[in-house]
Structure 1
Amino acid sequence: MIRYPPREANGHPHGAVRASQHTASPHDSPLDPRGAIRQTGRMQRPYLLTVNAGSSSLRCGLFTASDAAAAALRQDDPNTPTGELPEPIFGLHVELPSTRRAARLHVTAGEAKYSGSTSRGVVDQETALAEIFAWLAERGFRSGIGAVGHRIVHGGTHAAPALITPALLRTLESLAPLAPLHQPNDLAAVHAVHRQLPGAGQVACFDTAFHRSLPPRAHRLAVPVDIADLPLRRFGFHGLSYEAIAGEMLRIAPAERRIIAAHLGNGASLCAIDTGQSVDTTMGVTPLDGLPMGTRSGALDPGLVLWLQREGGHSPERLAELLWRKSGLLALSGTSADMRILLDTDTGAAREAVEVFCYRVAQGMAAMAIALGGVDAIAFSGGMGERAHPVRAGIAEHLGVLGVKLDPIANATNRPVFSRPGSAVKLRIVPTDEEAIIARHTARTLGLVPDQA
């Protein structure tokens, strides 16, 4: 049972932070945070909410704005180069309904955890967000939220988080065809927050920004540069996750400079990280590229796509449905996009789907090793990376060429380090924390960090 912080006389919980009254003004807008933030950088409303709208779930974190600002300050401290991440008051995760389950709400508060059913009206990210706001309102938190940070999957050429303005929204909407499973949900969440919290400042934190450090040899495309209005390059994705992993690795193992980070979930990718900087990654212009995923094809011969269009009579819309929603593990197995189900299914097709996935991940890791000029550690994250030990074992089976030696017992028990002594490459499980990264970026973007920092 979660013990909620005591309520104060003014109705706001969390005794260490007090909310002052906010009077609506003509400037109040999700696109202009002046109604929620004073020019000195002090919040009139003490809470910061992060929103991470995935393709099958919604994750939120409720932070004190002061904790998020302190984390942004620590990031600048030369004695703590990675910066400590802020701790949320609550972590909130809504699993959307599927053919296998009804929608569920999961709440964490420190070590305490709670799971329960949602209302029957939860059918998509917007209704899931409404459920979270109702949950927060019942406990006295909603009215104290003055800042909201969003994970935005495709940021185009943006290299840093940005205050959400009408112009930025138009740009992000134009990128939706490049990330159709995610971008519409991300932007719907921005509008939903506007309706729920019209005075809150909103910040876009881009999954693509972490990969702006890619060298030309990694981001250039071998096509004419003038074929599109958007400057085409390999953008890369899962950047907020990789930023969290890079920071955690610098904290726990600073000598392990050359890292292959593996974000393995329903969406999956790899990133080569050298001293905290992205130098290569498996996803490209869109999050459809790279590894095969739950329902996404991953890398394909472009000639096949042209052939399917010309000879197979597939329209662009039909091809998009095929490659984004009906490929990957679902197509390989013929039954499921869920690795948990495939690992429990004793059929040749299910086994082959798992084998193809593990082999392609290992192939990608070999390519990332070339980008790094050698590997000190492989960091596994995401649902599969953190909890599916047969998948990690299947990947490691192909990595003997890199000097990888798996400890089967440590791997089967999900220990933080699961390589054997003498392994040339350290194998680690490094849980990611996108919400904390979003909170830190939001505090900095909205000026909650003093100018002299």
Structure 2
Amino acid sequence: MTILAVNAGSSTLKFALYPVREAVAGSATLAGSIEGLDLNGQLLMSWRIKEQVFKSQIEALSGDPFREALQALQGVLQRELAGRDLQAVAHRVVHGGEAYRDAVRVNRSVVEALSRLSALAPLHQPHNIEGILAFGRAFPDVPQIACFDTAFHAGIPEVEHLFALPQALVRQGIRRYGFHGLSYQYVMETLNRLSDRAQGRVVMAHLGNGASLCATLNGKSCATTMGFSALDGLMMGTRSGSLDAGVVLHLMSQGWDHARLQDLLYRQSGLLGVSGISGDMRTLRASHEAQAQLAIRMFTHRVIRETGAMAACLRGIDVLAFTGGIGEHDGALRAEVCDSLAFLGITLDHQKNSVDTGAQAVSLHRSGSPVEVWMVPTDEGRVAAQAAAAVLPMQL
């Protein structure tokens, strides 16, 4: 019996097959991703089966790269699922709002409720829903399970989740939700296996095209940088991150409408907006352009600043963990963040930090460091598979 985990992000579509009996701790029997979902990107699908790696260029003909990616993935899965008993498709869904704090089997009313949250996560939620509908059509007899990024932060303290707004707006559900919860749950579970300090004061940094920080105490989220939407907090690939609301009011006074503002803040800002070159950190690292270097410095500065804020919420820090595409592979950024936060007791082992360990979690701190530093490759799919296995009445 197998569970398919699907993670439709803002720039990639990730997928993995997990044996049901091993959904908690086992490795995926098939895992891969499709990159280039951003506008004008080149679609490349790569996947791994045991030790074999396969790659395929996807020809985008319709002008809708996400739809093309889904169709290509379904073709691969139809072949690979031959002879397997597919029990469920577990979907990462970015926003669950106030209604969904646990994984849920999807029906029409769930889809309608999640669709109403699309304006709060326009880069993700529509893709999440489209994936649910597409796989529902491809596998009509297989349960579709929605697993929510917001769930990990559902219990954050009142002083953290409330905004300084009138109560009438709070009652409408305008509050801090927080995101990247599936990733943070996986990293926390990994740290619990590797470190005696994981139940202490932990700051996790999920750094990728979307980026956020999360502070945990006793394994529970108590502060995070993202808020009501996935726009708040750190500077990101194409998102602005935290921005004085007065800027939006100013642009509105100049005639900017909702669609133009949304495009600016979600798709034209961040690393892309500052550099004028790309929202991909790898591309900017390879560039000698002054604006590319400025974008990197700004991104790094925001991570340093907000990590300090997370440590302040915790009254100190015992563990700092990096994950996400940038957090896992950009040793230069990790070094600058850790060196800038040395006053908190962080002492990085630069030799360890310079080695890319790929899929292996690794400690990066020096022996005797008051603060542990870890790089933990995330696996949101496995967490989604766990949640789906818990929702369904399966015979494990």
TM-score range, shorter chain: over 0.9
Residue of structure 2 in register with 1:280 after alignment: 223
Residue of structure 1 in register with 2:67 after alignment: 126
Superposed CA deviations along residues 205-241 of structure 1, whole A, max 9, x for unmatched, are 0000000120111111110121376322100000000
Residue of structure 1 in register with 2:201 after alignment: 258
| 8 Å CA contact retained: 2:43, 2:65 | no
SS of the counterpart of 1:128? helix
Amino acid at match of 1:56: S
Superposed CA deviations along residues 303-338 of structure 1, whole A, max 9, x for unmatched, are 11111111x221121111111111111122122211
Unaligned runs of 5+ in 2: none
**Root-mean-square deviation over aligned CA pairs:** 1.9
- Rate the CA distance shift 1:142–1:50 in 2: closer, same or farther, 3 A: farther
Residue of structure 2 in register with 1:271 after alignment: 214
Whole-angstrom CA distance in 1 between matches of 2:103 and 2:284: 38
Following superposition of structure 1 onto structure 2, how do residues 195-234 of structure 1 map, counting pairs within 5 Å? 195-227=137-169, 230-234=172-176
Whole-angstrom CA distance in 2 between matches of 1:325 and 1:345: 21
Alignment match of 1:428 (pick from 357, 363, 374)? 374
Superposed CA deviations along residues 355-390 of structure 1, whole A, max 9, x for unmatched, are 111111011111111222211111100111010111
Alignment match of 1:437 (pick from 354, 368, 383)? 383
TM-score where L is the length of structure 2: 0.93
Residue of structure 1 in register with 2:283 after alignment: 341
Alignment match of 1:67 (pick from 22, 27, 30)? 22
Residue of structure 2 in register with 1:295 after alignment: 238
| 8 Å CA contact retained: 2:6, 2:15 | yes
Residue of structure 2 in register with 1:35 after alignment: none
Whole-angstrom CA distance in 2 between matches of 1:186 and 1:387: 26
Amino acid at match of 2:303: V
Amino acid at match of 1:354: I
- Rate the CA distance shift 1:254–1:319 in 2: closer, same or farther, 3 A: same
Amino acid at match of 2:349: D
TM-score where L is the length of structure 1: 0.82
Structure 1 residue 255: deviation in Å? 2.6
- Check if 1:113 corresponds to 2:53: yes
Unaligned runs of 5+ in 1: 1-45, 72-84
Alignment match of 1:239 (pick from 174, 181, 198)? 181
Whole-angstrom CA distance in 1 between matches of 2:386 and 2:270: 34
Structure 1 residue 146: deviation in Å? 3.0
Structure 1 residue 94: deviation in Å? 1.2
Alignment match of 2:329 (pick from 372, 387, 407)? 387
Residue of structure 2 in register with 1:47 after alignment: 2
| 8 Å CA contact retained: 1:443, 1:449 | no
Counting aligned pairs with the same residue, the percent is: 38
Amino acid at match of 1:128: A
Aligned length: 389
SS of the counterpart of 1:147? strand
| 8 Å CA contact retained: 1:137, 1:143 | no
Structure 1 residue 126: deviation in Å? 3.0
Residue of structure 2 in register with 1:137 after alignment: 78
Residue of structure 2 in register with 1:34 after alignment: none
- Rate the CA distance shift 1:408–1:292 in 2: closer, same or farther, 3 A: same
Superposed CA deviations along residues 253-292 of structure 1, whole A, max 9, x for unmatched, are 1333221100000000000022221111000000000000
| 8 Å CA contact retained: 1:393, 1:411 | yes
| 8 Å CA contact retained: 2:208, 2:326 | yes
Alignment match of 1:90 (pick from 17, 26, 30)? 30
Alignment match of 1:146 (pick from 60, 63, 87)? 87
SS of the counterpart of 2:363? coil
Superposed CA deviations along residues 398-440 of structure 1, whole A, max 9, x for unmatched, are 2122122222222111362222234321111011110000001
Whole-angstrom CA distance in 2 between matches of 1:322 and 1:328: 10
| 8 Å CA contact retained: 2:10, 2:37 | no
